[in-house]
Amino acid sequence: MTTPSLTKTDDRPLRTQDGDDAPLLVVDGLSTTFASPKGPIRAVEDVSLELRRGHTIGIVGESGSGKSVLSRSIMGLVPSYATRTGSVRYEGTELLDAGPKELRKIWGAQMSMVFQDPMTALNPVQKIGAQITESIREHLDYSKTQRRDTAIALLRSVGIPEPERRLKQYPHELSGGMRQRVVIAIALACGPHLLFADEPTTALDVTVQAQILDLLETQQAERNMAVILVTHDLGVVATRADEIAVMYGGRIVEQAPTQVLFRQMRHPYTEALLRSIPRLDLPSHTRLEAISGRPPDLLHPPQGCRFAARCPYAQPKCHAEEPELVDDGTGHLFRCWYPVGIASEQTTVDSVVAEAHVREVGDEIATDTDVIEEEA
């Protein structure tokens, strides 16, 4: 273990230049706290990130780490008993000050979300066609025929066969993969510039998962969208995100461009996440390491490092003082007193990326059409 020379992130200037390269989204020190009878729940604390059009940031962490609350806090989709502080600027507009009317104009048309569970995202008693055209009607001045044509084109673009017939169907008449494609079509209906994909494939089998992620990637490239891809699986973002932010207990504990993070991860929690995904260089019967212990109680967060109770490298200082998020000078941020360095294990890291790739290439053997026909 090494202790690098560190720079406080508070001193980092925000990149706010104008022009094509200006960030679409700038989140600065965002915190979200829920009021509860037992006290405040600090679900997200002091998160900062930037995102440009066409780029993808992967938000990774275990259940309860604050990934969904972060996404919803950026969009403004939080309940009235939640308090947000900090700043969320979208194309230069401060969203934390925006009223419901302003936000409704932005949702769907500027930013939209693909939710984890398509069954809850869709209205079970409304036909697919009505659910797609509803968003179009709200944001675009289209005739009824134009709305129907757009809905058909959207369903076709997300790989749904016989879109005319699907418009008249209810969600329960479609397979899980087809429903998720419909949810994506709805999210894309008004051409958003920023798409949140919150665990968009968790409920699906591996083959369909890869297809849905490929579909999102294709749509992103065609539309030059920025994507926030939320997942608990480091393997999913390894090949799909430009940058990764690892969350633990409501805070970002490590953040770096994807290649940098995989080449030299510094936070013990990220290292533990890496060990919990399958690798090609180990025999197939090798047991994966689960991360033992429980995430921190957000009602009573520990005084020191939030990962200390589960960290194999914890020292007395870790239990006493919380480390700040620091920059090692290369834009690689981490929050740890005694960061790990696994640059020498490059082959191991490469094998993780290779594993993700092989999984996807293998999945392509069953062609999209085959699976669509089977699912349909």
Ligand X SMILES: Nc1ncnc2c1ncn2[C@@H]1O[C@H](COP(=O)(O)OP(=O)(O)OP(=O)(O)O)[C@@H](O)[C@H]1O
- Contact residues for ligand SF4, defined by CB under 6 A: 267-268, 305, 307-308, 311, 313-314, 318, 323, 336-338
Q: Report CA torsion sign: 245, 248, 254, 258.
A: negative
What is the spatial distance between Cα 92 and Cα 18, in angstroms, rounded to a whole number? 9
What is the spatial distance between Cα 153 and Cα 134, in angstroms, rounded to a whole number? 15
Query: Any contact of residue 61 with ligand X (CB under 6 A)?
Result: yes
Are 37 and 210 in contact by the 8 Å Cβ rule? The answer is no
Query: Any contact of residue 41 with ligand X (CB under 6 A)?
Result: yes
CB of 120 to ligand X, least distance (A): 13
Q: Which of 298, 308, 333, 372 binds ligand X (CB under 6 A)?
A: 298
Comparing CB distances to Mg ion, the nearer of 68 and 150 is 68
Query: Any contact of residue 237 with ligand X (CB under 6 A)?
Result: no
Could you say which of Mg ion, ligand SF4, ligand X, none residue 305 binds, taking C-beta under 5 to 8 angstroms by partner kind?
A: ligand SF4
Could you say which of Mg ion, ligand SF4, ligand X, none residue 34 binds, taking C-beta under 5 to 8 angstroms by partner kind?
A: ligand X
Query: Any contact of residue 201 with ligand X (CB under 6 A)?
Result: no
Comparing CB distances to ligand SF4, the nearer of 74 and 308 is 308
* Burial class of residue 210, CB neighbours in 10 A (0-12, 13-18, 19+): buried
Could you say which of ligand SF4, Mg ion, ligand X, none residue 66 binds, taking C-beta under 5 to 8 angstroms by partner kind?
A: ligand X
Query: Any contact of residue 65 with ligand X (CB under 6 A)?
Result: yes
Q: Which of 24, 26, 34, 48 binds ligand X (CB under 6 A)?
A: 34
Burial per residue of 245-259, b for 16 or more beta-carbon CB atoms within 10 angstroms, e otherwise: bbbbbbbbbbbbebe
Q: What is the DSSP string of 111-162?
A: EEEE-S-HHHHS-TTS-HHHHHHHHHHHHS---HHHHHHHHHHHHHHTT-SS
What is the spatial distance between Cα 25 and Cα 226, in angstroms, rounded to a whole number? 9
Q: Which of 53, 55, 67, 359 binds ligand X (CB under 6 A)?
A: 67
> Taking CB under 6 A as the criterion, which residues in 137-196 touch ligand X?
none
Comparing CB distances to ligand X, the nearer of 64 and 235 is 64
Are 120 and 68 in contact by the 8 Å Cβ rule? The answer is no
Are 213 and 158 in contact by the 8 Å Cβ rule? The answer is no
Contacting positions for ligand X (CB under 6 A): 34, 36, 41, 43, 61, 63-69, 79, 232, 298
